[in-house]
Amino acid sequence: MTDAHRPEVQTATTDARLGAVPDGPTPEPLLPHDPRADELSDAAVVVADAHGAPTRPEASSEASSSALERLEAVVPGGARVRRRIDVSLLVASFAIAVGVVLVGVGLLRSVTGREQQLLPDAIESIDPIRGATQVPQQTRVFVDFAIGYEATMFIDGVALPTIALDDVTVRPPGLGDDAGDQVEIPPGALWEPGNATLTFEPGPSQVIESFSTGLHTVTLHYWRTEDGPERFRTYTWTFYAV
C-alpha cells in the first residue's frame, strides 16, 4: 500500500468512529416480527379469492376455510355472513306446529270414560253420560255400581222409590195368553243386586212419564252395603233432553 492511500483509510476510519452516514439510501429500522401479520396476509388472500381475484391458485378449499377462521379470530368484530331466510321452510314449520296443537286439542276433547265422567270408584258407568245432549225424552237412566254397593236415585229433585228385583211380582199368563209370564214392576227405579245396577225408565206408570225438553239432573246416594245407607255419598250429573 502506498502513502497516497493512507489518508483515505484514516479518514474513513475516523468517519466511522464519528458516526458519519455513508452515501446512499438510508435503511429502514427493523421492527419486532408480529406473527399475526402472516395470518392477516393469508386471510387477505382468501378475501381476494372471494371477490373473484385469486392470488393463490394452488390454495385448497380447506386452507381457505382455515384462513377465514383465523381472520375472524384476529380481527375483532369482523363482518359475519348473513344467511337468507327460507320463507317456504318457515311456513312449513309453522304449519307443522299448528297441526301438532290441533291434534293435542282433539285428543283432549275426545277423552271419554272415567276421566271425562269424573266417576267415583264405586260407579262403573252411567247412561246418559255426563253432559250428554240430544237425549230422547223416553231414555232410561242407568247406573252400574261396583259389587258391594247399593244406592237410591233422585231426578230433578224427585226421590224415586227403589224396587229390588227380588220383590218384583211375576204374574202367570192368563188363559189364551201367548206372551208368557207377565212382570209387574211398581213405579220407581229397579235395583238388581246380582249385577249391582239401578235403572229408571220413564213411562205412564212412573213419577216421570217422559223427560221434557231441557236440562235434567240426576243425583245418586250410594253406600257400601256393609256400612248402611246412613253413610252414603253423593254423585250428580246432568244431561239435556230434546
Q: Tell me: the pLDDT tens digits for 129-177?
A: 999 999 999 999 999 999 999 999 999 999 999 999 877 766 555 544 5
The pTM for the full model equals 0.51
Q: Which residue has the cell 452516514?
A: 21
Instruction: Tell me how far apart the alpha carbons of residues 40 and 68 are, in angstroms, rounded to a whole number.
Output: 10
Report residue 233: phi and psi, to 5°: -120, 165
- What's the pLDDT tens digit per position in 55-111? 454 545 555 566 556 555 555 555 555 667 778 888 888 889 888 877 765 655 555
Whether 59 and 45 have beta carbons less than 8 Å apart is answered as: yes
Domain residue limits at 229 = 114-241
Same domain, 230 and 120: yes
Domain count, the chain: 2
Whether 143 and 198 have beta carbons less than 8 Å apart is answered as: yes
Same domain, 191 and 234: yes
Note whether residue 169 is domain-resident.
Answer: yes
pLDDT average, residue stretch 193-210: 94
Helix (H, G, I), strand (E, B) or coil at 211: coil
Note whether residue 95 is domain-resident.
Answer: no
